[in-house]
Amino acid sequence: MISLKSIQPFTPNHIPPTLPEKEAFRKRKPIIVLCTTANKSSGNSDDKTPGDTRKQELLARIAMLEAQKVQLADYLDERSAYLTRFAEEANAEIDQIGENAL
């Protein structure tokens, strides 16, 4: 049997404020994790062992951490691109000011 669990990834509250177009990045997006459970031949669901539950919890935690890692990598890529663009524009403005001063 396959069961679906909706997991809300953790978004750190200490992320610095971003530009308005970056606001969509900060919204939480649900992630669906597929967990498989083995059916017992007796059909009784009370036969689950604590190890299986712990294993599923650990797998769900790993999936959440992986999702956070991807979100953080995307965020860092966006900020890096923004800072690179900002630096290029600042250098162009400084060059323009230098040319105008001559």
Query: What are the residue boundaries of the structural domains of the chain, listed by start?
Result: 2-40+50-101
Residue 51 confidence (pLDDT): 75
Looking up tokens 């969509």 gives 24
Report the alpha-carbon distance of residue 64 to residue 51 in Å, rounded: 20
Question: What was the pLDDT predicted at 11?
Answer: 54
- Entry pTM: 0.46
Q: Residue 65: which pLDDT band, with cuts at 50, 70 and 90? A: very high
- What per-residue confidence (pLDDT) applies to 35? 54
Identify the pLDDT of residue 101: 87
* pLDDT confidence band for 102 (50 / 70 / 90): confident
What is the bridge-based pairing of β-strands 31-36 and 2-7? antiparallel
Residues across the chain: 102
The pLDDT value given to residue 49: 73
d(CA 50, CA 54): 6
